[in-house]
C-alpha cells in the first residue's frame, strides 16, 4: 500500500509512542510532533479510513497489521540511517533530522544496499 510522507510520519510516531507508553491517544501524537490536536484528528481519521489504525471508543490508537508494517519499515530506515550518519561524523541531531527526510524517499533497493553495507561494518 502506498502512503505519503505525512502518513508515514504519523504511523512511525504511533509505533514509537506505543513502545514508551501503555496506550496512545491523538493528544499524545500531537504533543510528540508538536502539532495541533485538530490536525492530528484529521490525520487519524484518514489513517483509520485507510485501514492503518484502529481507534477504540476510549480514543486509544493501535496500529493494524498494515499500519505496523509501514511504521516498522520507516522506523527501521530511520534507525539505520541515523546511526550510519552519526558513524560518518554527522552531529546526532542533524543525523536524525536528515534520516527523517531520507527515510521517505529512498528506494527499497538502495536501502537494502545500505543495510547490507552497514551490516558488514558491524
Which CATH number characterizes residue 45's domain? 1.10.10.10
* pTM, 2 dp: 0.87
| Domain enclosing residue 102, as ranges | 70-121
Q: Domain count for the chain, please give it.
A: 2
Which CATH number characterizes residue 89's domain? 1.10.60.10
pLDDT at position 64 over 60: yes
* 3 or 4, greater pLDDT: 4
Q: What average pLDDT score do residues 34-45 get?
A: 94
- In this structure, the answer to whether residues 89 and 60 fall within a common structural domain is no
Residue 77 neighbours by CB under 8 Å, 6+ apart: 99, 102, 103, 106, 111
Q: What average pLDDT score do residues 41-58 get?
A: 96
- In this structure, the answer to whether residues 85 and 110 fall within a common structural domain is yes
Q: Grid coordinates representing 33?
A: 510532533
Amino acid at each position: 500500500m502506498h502512503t505519503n510522507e505525512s502518513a508515514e510520519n504519523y504511523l512511525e510516531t504511533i509505533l514509537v509512542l506505543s513502545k514508551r507508553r501503555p496506550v496512545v491517544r491523538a493528544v499524545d501524537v500531537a504533543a510528540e510532533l508538536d502539532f495541533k490536536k485538530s490536525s492530528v484528528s484529521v490525520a487519524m481519521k484518514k489513517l483509520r479510513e485507510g485501514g492503518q489504525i484502529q481507534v477504540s471508543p476510549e480514543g486509544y490508537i493501535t496500529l493494524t497489521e498494515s499500519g505496523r508494517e509501514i511504521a516498522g519499515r520507516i522506523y527501521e530506515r530511520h534507525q539505520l540511517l541515523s546511526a550510519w550518519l552519526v558513524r560518518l561524523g554527522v552531529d546526532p541531531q542533524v543525523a536524525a533530522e536528515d534520516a527523517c527526510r531520507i527515510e521517505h524517499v529512498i528506494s527499497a533497493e538502495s536501502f537494502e544496499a545500505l543495510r547490507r553495507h552497514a551490516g558488514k561494518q558491524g
